[in-house]
Structure 1
Amino acid sequence: MIDCDPADTARQPPPILWSLGLLHGELRARHGLSLHDYLVLGALAGAEGGPVPVTQLTAFLQESGTRMSALLKNLQAAGLIERNRRGRDRRTVEVTLTEAGRARFADAESAAHMWLRRHVLL
């Protein structure tokens, strides 16, 4: 983690950028998730167990298809999501959260809320 030296404010990034970077580090260190991973799991958790098309996740994060594919590949390898082709329309890939993914997101969400209350929402 990067320590903040109050005397070195001239080179410090803007407060929101700094806060997001620190939150990313917290999620990575405690839960093995990047900020993007956390956002993807959150979008899936918000779908309440239903499948979400990859195109919807791509639009949500405004990422390229290639970048989204890499993110999902890593989450799938970690056992946090499942990817399947839609039954009738095999061109559409849908993503669902596994129980492990739901548990990891719940833990990360709780930690993120605590972190934000402690460091940002003072």
Structure 2
Amino acid sequence: MTEQEPRWLDDGEMRAWRNYVVGASMLADRLHRELQDNHGLSLADYEVLVRLSERPRRRMRMSQLADDVASSKSRVSHQVARMEKEGLLRRRECPEDGRGVFAELTDRGMAVLESAAPTHVEGVRAHMIDLLPREDQEVLAKVFERVITHLRSVDG
């Protein structure tokens, strides 16, 4: 069996890839630092609070939460346990399914989210959204919708 030659990236493809990798990392680091410095909250914790705040009764199944924040169930379980100790959320058994567990946003968690949201939104605007014309924002949204759809289909 012969190995196929890899489809190496050309200069334009390499530029797109490397700029995405570096830019996404720098943006996430900056947004994390702004939340951490101003609210003692990580970017990952902020995202969990947002996801829960958007759901009816401010709760969702742990497995769905992990999918929504693109994290492993194990990692989200540890994160939720830590956030529960901080009083930001609580875990509840699912009454319809004895094995299922909900993560539920507490009033304290909602207050922390409401306090942190203006900092986060201003950072997202300053470091990305306001740098892009509306057309580029639409292209970016479509590109990553396509990437997300593809990765979810190959992950099963």
Corresponding residue of 2:104: 96
Q: How many residues align?
A: 110
State the TM-score, normalized to the length of structure 2: 0.64
User: After superposition, what is the alpha-carbon deviation per residue over 1:55-114, rounded to whole angstroms, capped at 9, x for unaligned?
Assistant: 100111222221111110111011000101012322000011111111111121111112
Secondary structure of the corresponding residue to residue 95 of structure 2: coil
Please give the alpha-carbon distance, in whole angstroms, between the structure 1 residues aligned to 2:111 and 2:59. 17
SS in 1 for 2:98: coil
Q: Does 2:32 match 1:16?
A: no
Q: Whose radius of gyration is greater, 1 or 2?
A: 2
Q: How many Å apart are 1:116 and its aligned residue? A: 2.5
Residue from 89, 98, 109 that aligns with 2:117: 109
- Taking the aligned partners of 1:66 and 1:27, their CA distance within structure 2 comes to 24
Output the aligned Cα RMSD. Answer: 1.6
Runs of 4+ with deviation above 3 angstroms: none
Q: Does 1:39 align with 2:44?
A: no
Give 2:41's aligned amino acid: L
The whole-number CA distance in structure 2 between the counterparts of 1:79 and 1:92 is: 21
Q: Sequence identity, in percent? A: 30
Choose between structure 1 and 2 for higher RCO, CA contacts under 8 A separated by at least 6 residues: 1
State the Cα distance separating 1:52 from its structure 2 match: 0.4
Structure 1 distance, partners of 2:70, 2:127, is 27
**Residue 27, structure 1, aligned to residue 30, structure 2:** no
Which of 60, 65, 79 matches 2:87? Answer: 79
The answer for the alignment partner of 2:138 in structure 1 is none
Q: How do 1:55-66 residues align onto structure 2 when only pairs under 5 Å count? A: 55-66=63-74
- 5+ residue gaps, structure 1, are 1-12
Residue deviations 1:23-53 (CA, integer Å, cap 9, x gap): 1111112112111111111100111434200
After TM superposition, the structure 1 stretch with the greater mean CA deviation from structure 2, 71-80 or 108-117, is 108-117
Please state whether the residue corresponding to 1:90 is helix, strand or coil. Answer: strand
